[in-house]
Amino acid sequence: MLSNLALLLLLMLSDAPTPARPTTPAHIVAVTFTSKALSGERRYLAWLPPGYRQDAGVDYPVVVLLHGLGGEGGDWFDAEKGDLRPTLDRLMRDKRIAPFVALAPDGDNGYWTDHFRAPREGYGSFIDEVLANADARFDIAVERAAIVGVSMGGHGAMSRAFMAPGRYRAVVSLSGALFDRPPTHRPIYKKVWGFPADRGHWAATSPMAIVERSKPGDIRLPAVFLACGRVDADRFLDWNTEAAQLLTARGIAHELVLTEAGHTWTNWRSLSERWLPWMAPYLR
């Protein structure tokens, strides 16, 4: 029989709280690899959610984040720009969104599109390489993916999602450069699509051209979230409202959010509170 002292100790131990399992905080890993599409060393950042543990038997959804012209992948996590980390931490802690892995590649000013003119740099194909590289390194489920971009990145996100229907479940374009015809007012545009623009290359890579030549119901595109500021300059507001009208005409599910802001990270940062919860159901 247990002594009175042993019985008391047993009772005390049974009432003691179970020690909390240590949780790995969210963190960012910088990855460098050799890109065939861009013929050299390239980098992307991988944001790993709270509790992420390698080989834990959990495959996380994945979200690709594309920066704008003159930017880099780190813009999404820069406290003065995207400042996405605290928003992700809070929304996941409050269970408004489920954990996922975010990938933010450095894409120079290549417009996230394979170039028509030599050298034929594959900035669109580079996105596919990033996903494949991350799939080999991290526990992700590439079949549960979304793609997000700002400005130039908004064009790239829509382009990659529409060129390969089924690869992404949702696409987010924030003030995206959703041109209605081949642009020529920057040298990069002539390099990407040719000058004069190669019509076949434009038709294959432009998201609006892909939608325009489709018929209602004949292509299964991902859900689309568009946002733009009402005071956005250089036709960005026109491009986005016209894109929404075209998506409506083709029966493609989408949401359009117009803010009272301009073409700035201040605007895009505030929109994180809208597109992250919107995207969450599509990654389940």
What does the pLDDT look like over 136-189, one tens digit per residue?
A: 999 999 999 999 999 999 999 999 999 998 899 999 999 999 999 999 989 999
pLDDT of residue 234: 86
- Give how far Cα 71 sits from Cα of 62, 75, 149, 192, 248, Å: 21, 7, 12, 18, 31
pLDDT of residue 20: 42
For residues 36 and 113, give the distance between their C-alpha atoms in angstroms, rounded to a whole number: 15
pLDDT of residue 53: 85
pLDDT of residue 183: 95
What confidence tier does 258 reach under pLDDT thresholds 50, 70, 90?
very high
User: 33-70: string of b/e by CB count within 10 Å (b at 16+)?
Assistant: eebebbeeebbbbbbbbeebeeeeeeebbbbbbbbbbe
Q: Is 182 helix (H, G, I), strand (E, B) or coil?
A: coil
Domain ranges across the chain? 23-283
pLDDT at 193 over 60: yes
Q: Decide: 174 and 268 in contact? Cβ < 8 Å.
A: yes
CATH class of the region 23-283: alpha beta
Per-residue pLDDT tens digits for 74-130: 999 999 999 999 999 999 999 999 999 999 999 999 999 999 987 789 999 999 999
pTM for the model stands at: 0.91
Using a pLDDT cut of 90, give the percent of the chain over it.
82
* pLDDT averaged over every residue in the chain: 91
Q: What is the DSSP letter of 49?
A: P
Mean pLDDT of the 194-216 span? 93
pLDDT at 13 over 50: no
Give which of 255, 263, 46 is closest to 150, Cα–Cα: 263
Using a pLDDT cut of 70, give the percent of the chain over it.
91
Per-residue pLDDT tens digits for 49-67: 999 988 788 899 999 999 9
pLDDT at 259 over 70: yes
The residues with which 96 forms a beta bridge, in sequence order, are none
What confidence tier does 21 reach under pLDDT thresholds 50, 70, 90?
very low
Instruction: Write out the H or E segment, with its range, that includes residue 66.
Output: strand 60-66
Mean pLDDT of the 7-27 span? 52
pLDDT of residue 163: 95
Q: Decide: 238 and 209 in contact? Cβ < 8 Å.
A: no
What confidence tier does 203 reach under pLDDT thresholds 50, 70, 90?
very high
What confidence tier does 4 reach under pLDDT thresholds 50, 70, 90?
low
